Chains A and B, each alone.
Chain A
Amino acid sequence: MEQRLSDPAADPHALQRSTLRGNAESIGFAIMVAALVVTPFFTYPLFLMQAMCFALFACAFNLLIGYVGLLSFGHALYFGWASYLSAYAAKAWGFTPELAILTGTATAALCGLVAGLLAIRRQGIYFAMITLALAQMMYFFALQAKFTGGEDGIQAVPRGHLFGVIDLRNEAAMYVVVLVIFLAGFLFIHRVVNSPFGEVLKAIRENETRAISLGYRTDRYKLIAFVLSATLAGVAGATKAIVLQLASLTDVNWPMSGEVVLMTLVGGLGTIFGPVVGSFVILVMQFKLAAMGEWVLVIQGVIFVACVLLFRRGVIGEIANWLRIRL
């Protein structure tokens, strides 16, 4: 059936501890918010903003693989194209940043709907291949199209004034905006996972045939999850374009799709905090090891292999399993 890389729900006593579980999530959330409020005073806010965009991207990806069991290998499409449209809207059409981000997000949602309709009936590796193929098609389109600036990308994107009022060239204001977007996206995903709809997704992941026999048209649920995931990846990409004032081919190419898989896997598939931790780990590593050039990729590869072999649950997954809670 579907790609199943881990089994985060395989905790038999989960239900009896639902209160503890709820508390663990609240505590985790409080720690995360506190850390994101305090750290900009100690490190580069720009780095943190970029990391939050990637964290949201990874959370969006995790919604699909961790909670539906679908491995998309083309999520760069939604991240990258949202960033192009966001950058273009801000630069060429003079949109305010919130409208530019919305434009990028809508683009991702539309791409997600089209790709989802084509891919959703396929299972496992075929699903991954179709999502990859569509993403590569759109990569070449980005490479050839005029408005994307080809190899140059769209540079010097103005951050503009939020709602036409707040100047986002101010680093603190930009940081608050990114933080709010990230937290809103994070909480939204948490809600989706813990909603009546999320319950059906869980059932589909557990036993799709049975879900069908109970009258669920499972393709529709998977498609909605796919579009939600693509849309949120779009929010992340569109925001990143405003923050870094740049949209480039890197964001839309396949290594980006691979990177988000790595981030999610390192942090923990199917855990709510895992993708956040995973993306910070990977970005910090890339940042610290930047001087080593190409070796970063080798080290990333080693981490990937180590994760798959030794820490299959990822950082957060292992901690949650060790403490017997859900994070």
Chain B
Amino acid sequence: MMSDDIILSTENLTKEFAGFTAVNGIDLKVRRGTIHALIGPNGAGKTTFFNLLSKFLSPTRGRIMFKGRDITAMAPADVARRGLVRSFQISAVFPHMSVLENVRIALQRSRGSSFDFWRSASALNRFNARAMQLIDDVGLTSFADCAAVELPYGRKRALEIATTLALEPEMLLLDEPTAGMGHEDIERIAQLIKRVAVERTVLMVEHNLSVVADLSDHITVLTRGQVLAEGDYAAVSNNADVREAYMGVGHD
């Protein structure tokens, strides 16, 4: 495998909280254009690892490389600007702004005019067409004028993805995209992820193993802050260590 194929990698990434090592020397390589899933039991350090990647936490040790550049010391906003954009476990929308306004905020950032305090907000209407396209892509057209807070949970996640895609990121970090969702919503979000991953790289933390089996090209299993196993779904699900860590749970 050529090293150019690796879009994101970590070397010996470690995060220690007082007396507790949440992430312990993880070496991870994510290949460009794949859907890479990160699984593991509760407390395995998945979310901490995510926060390290998106720079919302600073690592105690180790290095993070994105597109061949060391981003270990970069500010979170700047990491996003380089094309690595994350979603959150708790759905992250701007609650009292409409669906359209939510998406426009992202478009506004990537296309300028964010500092214009002397212009009318109607200047933002030029983003409406593109915003509606993105909203349509995630099936929210009929909700465009609703305040985000009024959307049902699954739709909020869809809105979050539309907002994230507005930045046209090269790589998405999705933190439990289907957590807390009903069956129907899970199906819709899984399809959506599959669709958006066509031109992009996706790294996601996910608990729902059928979603993982369905979507991911590559799986990394974490326990106690360390990599337990790696490989495709078949390889990982047949791994004895993994079976033990999960105590048989979640395997068909």
Interface residues of A (CB under 8 A from B): 7, 9-12, 14-16, 191-192, 194-200, 202-203, 206-207, 209-218, 221, 224, 228
Contacts and interface: CB of A to CB of B under 8 A. Distances in A.
A216 B97 contact: no
A207 B95 contact: yes
Interface string B97-126: 110010011101110011111111101100
Contacts of B76: 212-213
A212 B164 CA distance: 12
A206 B115 CA distance: 18
A195 B125 CA distance: 12
Given A196-B123, A214-B105, 10 more contacts: A12-B150, A15-B145, A194-B120, A195-B119, A196-B117, A197-B115, A211-B105, A213-B87, A215-B167, A216-B114
A210 B114 contact: no
A212 to B, nearest CB: 5
29 contacts: A7-B96, A9-B97, A12-B96, A15-B98, A15-B147, A191-B118, A195-B116, A196-B114, A196-B116, A196-B117, A196-B123, A197-B117, A198-B121, A199-B105, A199-B124, A200-B114, A202-B94, A202-B97, A203-B97, A203-B105, A206-B95, A207-B92, A207-B93, A209-B88, A212-B77, A213-B54, A213-B76, A213-B80, A213-B88
A196 B75 contact: no
B110 A195 contact: no
B243 interface: no
A276 to B, nearest CB: 20
Q: Which 10 A-B pairs have the closest CB atoms?
A: A215-B80, A197-B117, A210-B92, A206-B94, A9-B96, A215-B81, A217-B77, A192-B117, A196-B113, A196-B116
B194 to A, nearest CB: 23
A214 B227 CA distance: 29
B121 A195 contact: yes
A195 B116 CA distance: 7
B149 interface: yes
Interface string B35-79: 000000000000000000010100000000000000000011110
B218 interface: no
B96 A199 contact: no
Contacts of A11: 96
B120 A215 contact: no
Given A14-B147, A206-B95, A224 B117 contact: yes
Contacts of B101: 199
A7 B97 CA distance: 13
Nearest to A197: B117
Interface of B: 54, 56, 75-78, 80-81, 85-88, 92-98, 101, 104-106, 108-110, 113-121, 123-124, 145-147, 149-150, 163-164, 167
A15 B101 CA distance: 10
Contacts of B80: 212-215
B31 to A, nearest CB: 23
Contacts of A224: 115, 117
Contact of B163 (A199, A200, A214): A214
Contact of A213 (B85, B118, B120): B85
Nearest to B119: A195
A186 to B, nearest CB: 15
B49 to A, nearest CB: 16
A296 B177 CA distance: 57
B85 A215 contact: yes
Contacts of B115: 196-197, 221, 224
A211 B77 CA distance: 8
Contacts of A216: 77, 109, 114
A24 B76 CA distance: 40
Interface centre among A206, A213, A224, by most chain B C-beta atoms within 10 angstroms, is: A213
B219 to A, nearest CB: 25
A89 to B, nearest CB: 27
